[in-house]
Amino acid sequence: MDIKRKTDAVPRIARDAARHGSGDAVAARTLTRQVMVGDVPLGGGAPVAVQSMLTARTTDVEACLTQIDELAALDCEIIRVAIPSTEALPGFGEICERSVLPVVADIHFDYRLALEAIRLGAAKLRINPGNIGSLDRVDAIVDAAGEAGIPIRIGVNAGSLAQEFQLRHDLTQVEKLVSSAVSFTRHCEERGFSQIVLSAKAHDVRTTIDTYRLLSNQLPHIPLHLGVTEAGTFLQGTVKSAVGIGMLLMEGIGDTFRVSLTADVTDEVLVAWELLAACGLRRRTPELVSCPTCGRCQVDLVSLANEVQQRLQSVRKPISVAVMGCVVNGPGEAAEADVGVACGRGSGAIFSQGKVLYTVPEEHIITALFDEIDKL
């Protein structure tokens, strides 16, 4: 493949899109070609899908399946598994057979692992153009995936770009990422393979946003997997992901994503769903509306809100629940809540859609609140 010919220039319109955002961004997600990962659709206007990655190793099949069940219970929809060596393959095959979620094989360096993962039942592959090897090896993977009818995610990373792009001093980091992704995608398409999902991640939020804007402009038909890679531990990683992924989702860019955290894997899914809900795209669990504390508050609002949040974990209703510290920020500020409480001295007014239903003593607030939630 003549890489230089295909990557010498990034069109001015695309550079402008990277700086200023896409023009008709709301429509971007509906323009992508739909591919199937097991029974989960990506692209073509399908709901933005939530993914995560196992921390358990495939040599411990039961640990992997337990983790998958835990993630599925939190509404994770696709799971990715690392295949670092041939020792990982036997367990991977059994995991694919028994998993309640479609399983993606994450492959680096050795193309033969990808071929074997396909044979063992992978619902999708993830390969990195920066380290998978020569084009004849790429072609072997593409042909095998085509025969099996499964998609490939072309996963470009800022930290592992192929040398032919990394050494291009005439390109910015964003342009290097996009050029690599575009070049690899076009090669696959020219070979007749169209079941492609694309990602191009960096740990820097601005680089990530600009890269995906540019990709959406250059390859509007390719479903995009969003992510801020190596985002960090729970707090920093959540903030960086919320800004980077959230901004793109609000612009209509992105068909699936993983929140990458150095934390418990279940946290990735919990944060992902909160992110989708905050963007107004999908909600499956309750939203908690709670005010900041101040000198007017006459109850232990922090403990109250935390207890409500904890109990809401088991509720599977897309409702809004308000816990407000005083009448100033009570039913008026949270008038749209399905149910809520406005606290006073030693008591709480239970309300719904801004209308007060009744008042209960402070010690009965939680019970009364969840009695009303059960009625919804």
Burial of 351 (0-12, 13-18, 19+ CB in 10 A): buried
Q: Which residues pair with 155 in a beta bridge?
A: 199
Work out the widest C-alpha separation in the chain, in whole angstroms. Answer: 75
- Residue 295: the pLDDT is 66
**pLDDT (0 to 100) of residue 329:** 64
What distances in angstroms separate CA 319 from CA 149, 303, 339, 364, 376, one per listed residue?
Answer: 39, 21, 8, 21, 8
- Residue 271 sits in the same domain as residue 333: no
Residue that terminates a domain, selected from 260, 278, 296: 278
Whose tokens are 């009448």? That residue is 327
Global confidence as pTM: 0.88
338 in the same domain as 218: no
pLDDT of residue 20: 35
**In the structure encoding, which two tokens stand for residue 348, read together?**
């709480």
- Number of C-alpha atoms within 13 angstroms, CB side, residue 210? 18
In this structure, what CATH number is given to the domain that contains residue 294? 3.30.413.10
Q: Based on the fold, state whether residues 269 and 294 are members of the same structural domain.
A: no
For residues 236 and 240, give the distance between their C-alpha atoms in angstroms, rounded to a whole number: 6
Whether residue 301 is found in the same domain as residue 270 = no
Q: Same domain, yes or no, for 335 and 370?
A: yes
DSSP 3-state assignment of 332? coil
My answer on whether 93 and 116 are in the same domain is yes
Per residue of the chain (376 residues), give pLDDT as tens.
333 333 343 333 333 333 334 444 446 788 899 999 999 999 999 999 999 999 999 999 999 999 999 999 999 999 999 999 999 999 999 999 999 999 999 999 999 999 999 999 999 999 998 888 888 999 999 999 999 999 999 999 887 887 888 888 899 999 999 999 999 999 999 999 999 999 999 999 999 999 999 999 999 999 999 999 989 999 999 999 999 999 999 999 999 999 999 999 999 999 999 999 999 999 988 999 988 877 677 778 899 999 999 999 889 899 999 998 876 666 777 788 999 999 888 889 999 988 899 999 999 999 999 999 999 9
7/125 same-domain check: yes
Q: In terms of domains, do 338 and 219 share one? A: no
Q: Is 256 in the same domain as 304?
A: no
Mark whether 306 and 265 lie in a shared domain: no
The residue segments making up the domain with residue 165 are: 3-278
40 and 266 Cβ atoms separated by less than 8 Å: no
Assigned token pair, 219: 């390859």
Where is the domain boundary, 278, 306, 331? 278
Asked which of 259, 278, 297 is the last residue of a domain, the reply is 278
What's the rounded Cα separation, in Å, for the pair 55 and 63?
Answer: 9
Number of helices (H), then strands (E), in the chain: 14, 15
Instruction: Please tell me whether residues 304 and 369 are part of one structural domain.
Output: yes
Same domain, 291 and 246: no
What CATH number is associated with residue 274? Answer: 3.20.20.20
Considering its fold, how many domains does the chain have in total? 2
| Start-to-end C-alpha separation, the chain | 59
